[in-house]
Amino acid sequence: MSYHFETLAIHAGQPNEALTGAVVTPIYQTTTFAQDELAGLGVAPPAYCYTRSGNPTREALEANLAALEGGRFGLAFSSGLAAANAVLQALSAGDHVVASQDLYGGCYRLFTKIFARFGVRFSLIDTTRPQNVAKAIEPATKLLWLESPSNPLLKITDLAACSEAAKARRIKVLVDNTFATPVHQRPLALGADIVLHSTTKYIGGHCDVLGGALIVDDEATYESLKFVQNATGGVPGPQDCFLQLRGIKTLALRVRRHAENALAIAEFLEAHSEVETVIYPGLASHPQHELAQRQTSGFGGIMSVEFVGGVERIRALIGQLKLWPLAESLGGVKSLLCHPATMTHASVEPAERRRIGIGDGLVRLSVGLENVEDLIDDLDQALEATRSSRLQEVAS
């Protein structure tokens, strides 16, 4: 019997515990497991021997995430970047990667500052045009790395078209599904081989736990990534796995409300005279609104905004807002405001930032689960209090 998403979120990988009947998977806070006898020579290895290699709380999380993404295997990591790192560690010097150009700043840094030193080469291209993917592929290309919607410009990549172009050349496709979540987008069904998550964001969802994950369907790919996971050790602790499992139980409810709130705020801001641009895939004004509608079942909780007055205006707004702390991260219950140029994308060189369109006047909003009228009222009062005419009044 196949269950719907909300049921899987609560049940997959989490049977009632055999010993006591506990309905919640316990936190197996142990590093090691006593073994009955020597393995080998006809004796199968034990299910658990050491927590870096396997832990029941982590396995519950891994099985759960696999079910939500529609893959057979999940692997949990200590952060989203630890998961990204593991994928790249499965490559070798001389291998080439084609990737979306406006991807998460930390992934860009991992590519250009770490793996480039070990001889992995990267081409960062505009993947919103699938024909660019075919053009960028070289004989040494092993991986296509896509992020959709992208961070922070919310560009949409046609995942099915790009996967097809890569598959024709036997290249593996990774999709960073952190922004969309499996509630709104299932990359494996669109042809991807590996789904990556920073579970720090919507999956954890409460701004209180770091984590990362990879989900795959192909067993050989799983085995190679599982080998890296154990050999390099970027695994999450059992307590962190528990917190993520707890977050996932309400993932569908939360993500739908994040998206509802975000659409209302995007519409409010787009109509506001003190706002220059709102980039949100749910708005008809988004250049890829139709693709977003086709590829995802919702538009998510993240938008980017440019206010009249640029960086000075942003400084003033930060001082006025009560419900929108200036903070890194996204996807949690609490609304957050972030300035990509100096925060999440500070590790991208200024010239590269300009090339891909991350201006100094751009603000990213992660819309939380507060009452949406309160969130809008707060933005409204801050925009009103920081009108350029008023700022001059205050100054004079």
Ligand X SMILES: *Cc1c(COP(=O)(O)O)cnc(C)c1O
Q: Which residues are near ligand X by CB under 6 A?
A: 79-81, 104, 106-107, 147, 151, 176, 178-179, 198, 200-201, 210, 212
Q: How far apart are the first and last CA of the chain?
A: 71
β-partners of residue 185 are: none
In 282-387, where does DSSP find H-type helix?
289-295, 310-320, 350-356, 372-385
How does DSSP classify residue 114?
A: I
Can you say whether the dihedral through the CA atoms of 367, 370, 371, 375 is positive or negative? negative
* Shortest distance in whole angstroms from residue 179 CB to ligand X: 6
Asked about 176 being catalytic, the answer comes back as: yes
Instruction: Of 193, 203, 187, 199, give the one whose Cα is nearest residue 225.
Output: 193
Q: Report the residue number, 175 or 376, with the smaller CB distance to ligand X.
A: 175
Question: Can you give the length of the chain in residues?
Answer: 396
Asked about 201 being catalytic, the answer comes back as: yes
**Coil, helix or strand at residue 229:** helix
Run of H or E residues at 276: strand 275-279
Run of H or E residues at 352: helix 350-356
β-partners of residue 175 are: 146, 195
* Shortest distance in whole angstroms from residue 252 CB to ligand X: 20
Catalytic, out of 52, 121, 167, 246: 52
Q: Report the residue number, 205 or 309, with the smaller CB distance to ligand X.
A: 205
Q: Report the residue number, 74 or 212, with the smaller CB distance to ligand X.
A: 212
Catalytic, out of 201, 226, 313, 364: 201
Q: Report the residue number, 151 or 221, with the smaller CB distance to ligand X.
A: 151
* Shortest distance in whole angstroms from residue 83 CB to ligand X: 8
Q: Report the residue number, 81 or 263, with the smaller CB distance to ligand X.
A: 81
> Are the CB atoms for 176 and 302 separated by under 8 Å?
no
Asked about 360 being catalytic, the answer comes back as: no
Peptide bond into 287 cis (omega under 30): no
* Shortest distance in whole angstroms from residue 328 CB to ligand X: 8
The CB-nearest residue to ligand X is 80
- Do the bridges between strand 194-198 and strand 212-216 make them parallel or antiparallel, or are there none, so unpaired? antiparallel
Q: Report the residue number, 7 or 342, with the smaller CB distance to ligand X.
A: 342
Return the amino acid letter for 309: G
Catalytic, out of 95, 176, 193, 217: 176
* Shortest distance in whole angstroms from residue 84 CB to ligand X: 6
* Shortest distance in whole angstroms from residue 319 CB to ligand X: 26
| Cα 47 to Cα 32: distance, rounded to the nearest angstrom | 12
Q: Is 133 left (phi over 0), alpha (psi -120 to 50) or beta?
A: alpha
User: Reduced to 3 DSSP states, what percent helix, strand and coil does the chain have, rounded to the nearest 5?
Assistant: 40, 15, 45
Q: Report the residue number, 172 or 201, with the smaller CB distance to ligand X.
A: 201
Q: What would the two tokens of residue 31 be?
A: 């590093």
How does DSSP classify residue 50?
A: B
Catalytic, out of 28, 104, 202, 222: 104
Q: Report the residue number, 30 or 329, with the smaller CB distance to ligand X.
A: 329
* Shortest distance in whole angstroms from residue 244 CB to ligand X: 11
* Shortest distance in whole angstroms from residue 302 CB to ligand X: 9
Can you say whether the dihedral through the CA atoms of 63, 69, 72, 78 is positive or negative? negative
Instruction: Of 163, 150, 162, 154, give the one whose Cα is nearest residue 108.
Output: 150
| Cα 271 to Cα 276: distance, rounded to the nearest angstrom | 10
Q: Which residues are catalytic?
A: 52, 104, 176, 201
